[in-house]
Amino acid sequence: MSNWKDLSKNTGLALGMLDNLKAEQDILQFYATFDNCEKLIIFDGFFSFRFLFESYAFNILNHHRLDGISWLFESSQTEYSQWFDTQSEKIYNKEYSHYRLVFLNHIVDVLSQKPPLIFDR
Protein backbone atom coordinates (compact mmCIF):
# COMPACT_ATOMS: atom_id res chain seq x y z
CA MET A 1 0.00 0.00 0.00
CA SER A 2 1.00 3.63 -0.37
CA ASN A 3 3.25 5.70 1.83
CA TRP A 4 1.06 8.08 3.76
CA LYS A 5 2.27 11.21 5.53
CA ASP A 6 0.32 12.09 8.67
CA LEU A 7 -0.62 15.79 8.45
CA SER A 8 -2.79 15.72 11.58
CA LYS A 9 -0.16 17.03 13.96
CA ASN A 10 0.14 20.23 11.90
CA THR A 11 -3.56 20.98 12.47
CA GLY A 12 -3.64 20.80 16.27
CA LEU A 13 -6.89 18.82 15.99
CA ALA A 14 -7.77 15.26 17.00
CA LEU A 15 -10.18 12.87 15.28
CA GLY A 16 -13.52 14.58 14.66
CA MET A 17 -17.04 14.11 13.34
CA LEU A 18 -18.08 15.03 9.80
CA ASP A 19 -21.23 17.16 9.95
CA ASN A 20 -21.73 17.94 6.26
CA LEU A 21 -19.95 18.26 2.94
CA LYS A 22 -20.57 20.41 -0.11
CA ALA A 23 -19.05 20.27 -3.60
CA GLU A 24 -19.40 23.21 -5.98
CA GLN A 25 -17.39 23.61 -9.17
CA ASP A 26 -13.85 22.63 -8.12
CA ILE A 27 -14.27 23.55 -4.43
CA LEU A 28 -14.98 20.87 -1.83
CA GLN A 29 -16.06 21.92 1.67
CA PHE A 30 -16.28 19.84 4.83
CA TYR A 31 -18.07 20.99 7.95
CA ALA A 32 -16.68 19.08 10.93
CA THR A 33 -16.62 19.15 14.71
CA PHE A 34 -13.44 18.44 16.68
CA ASP A 35 -13.84 18.39 20.49
CA ASN A 36 -16.72 20.91 20.38
CA CYS A 37 -14.72 23.09 17.99
CA GLU A 38 -16.45 23.58 14.62
CA LYS A 39 -14.20 23.77 11.57
CA LEU A 40 -14.57 24.36 7.84
CA ILE A 41 -12.11 22.38 5.70
CA ILE A 42 -11.78 23.54 2.09
CA PHE A 43 -10.10 21.93 -0.89
CA ASP A 44 -9.82 24.57 -3.61
CA GLY A 45 -9.02 22.91 -6.93
CA PHE A 46 -10.03 19.31 -6.24
CA PHE A 47 -10.39 16.79 -9.07
CA SER A 48 -12.25 13.93 -7.45
CA PHE A 49 -13.44 12.61 -4.10
CA ARG A 50 -14.88 9.37 -2.78
CA PHE A 51 -16.89 8.84 0.36
CA LEU A 52 -16.95 5.69 2.46
CA PHE A 53 -18.58 4.73 5.73
CA GLU A 54 -15.87 3.87 8.23
CA SER A 55 -17.47 0.55 9.15
CA TYR A 56 -16.75 -0.77 5.61
CA ALA A 57 -13.11 0.35 5.43
CA PHE A 58 -11.27 -2.45 7.21
CA ASN A 59 -8.12 -2.25 5.08
CA ILE A 60 -7.86 1.52 5.41
CA LEU A 61 -8.34 1.41 9.17
CA ASN A 62 -5.81 -1.39 9.59
CA HIS A 63 -3.26 0.37 7.40
CA HIS A 64 -3.37 3.68 9.26
CA ARG A 65 -3.54 2.16 12.76
CA LEU A 66 -5.56 5.09 13.98
CA ASP A 67 -4.80 6.40 17.46
CA GLY A 68 -7.75 8.77 18.00
CA ILE A 69 -5.56 11.74 17.09
CA SER A 70 -4.53 11.16 13.47
CA TRP A 71 -7.18 12.04 10.90
CA LEU A 72 -5.54 13.79 7.92
CA PHE A 73 -3.11 12.01 5.59
CA GLU A 74 -1.38 12.71 2.27
CA SER A 75 0.15 10.43 -0.37
CA SER A 76 1.39 11.00 -3.89
CA GLN A 77 0.81 7.57 -5.42
CA THR A 78 -2.19 5.40 -4.55
CA GLU A 79 -4.59 3.10 -6.33
CA TYR A 80 -7.08 5.99 -6.39
CA SER A 81 -4.58 8.34 -8.03
CA GLN A 82 -3.67 5.61 -10.53
CA TRP A 83 -7.35 5.21 -11.38
CA PHE A 84 -7.68 8.98 -11.88
CA ASP A 85 -4.56 9.10 -14.05
CA THR A 86 -6.09 6.42 -16.28
CA GLN A 87 -9.42 8.24 -16.48
CA SER A 88 -7.81 11.61 -17.28
CA GLU A 89 -5.18 10.11 -19.59
CA LYS A 90 -2.48 11.44 -17.23
CA ILE A 91 -2.94 15.09 -18.18
CA TYR A 92 -2.63 16.02 -14.48
CA ASN A 93 0.03 13.44 -13.64
CA LYS A 94 2.08 14.53 -10.59
CA GLU A 95 0.16 17.82 -10.27
CA TYR A 96 -1.96 16.74 -7.31
CA SER A 97 -1.91 14.74 -4.09
CA HIS A 98 -4.24 12.18 -2.58
CA TYR A 99 -5.57 13.39 0.78
CA ARG A 100 -7.43 11.10 3.16
CA LEU A 101 -9.68 12.50 5.89
CA VAL A 102 -10.74 10.04 8.56
CA PHE A 103 -13.71 11.03 10.69
CA LEU A 104 -15.52 9.07 13.42
CA ASN A 105 -18.01 7.51 10.99
CA HIS A 106 -16.69 8.41 7.54
CA ILE A 107 -13.59 8.32 5.40
CA VAL A 108 -13.17 10.71 2.49
CA ASP A 109 -10.43 10.52 -0.14
CA VAL A 110 -9.72 13.70 -2.10
CA LEU A 111 -7.51 14.26 -5.13
CA SER A 112 -6.51 17.91 -5.05
CA GLN A 113 -3.91 20.27 -6.47
CA LYS A 114 -3.70 22.15 -3.17
CA PRO A 115 -3.64 21.03 0.47
CA PRO A 116 -6.75 21.70 2.55
CA LEU A 117 -7.36 25.02 4.26
CA ILE A 118 -8.87 24.81 7.75
CA PHE A 119 -10.93 27.63 9.26
CA ASP A 120 -13.02 28.20 12.39
CA ARG A 121 -16.73 28.38 11.66
Instruction: Quick: pLDDT tens for 13-43.
Output: 999 999 999 999 999 999 999 998 999 999 9
Q: Which residues of 43-65 are buried (b: 16+ CB within 10 A; e: fewer)?
A: beebbbbeeeebeeeeebeeebe
Report yes or no: 115 and 98 within 8 Å, Cβ to Cβ: no
pLDDT at 97: 96
pTM (2 decimals)?
Answer: 0.91
Task: Report whether pLDDT(12) > 80.
Answer: yes
Strands 97-102 and 17-24, bridge-based pairing = unpaired
What is the domain partition of the chain in residue ranges?
Answer: 5-120
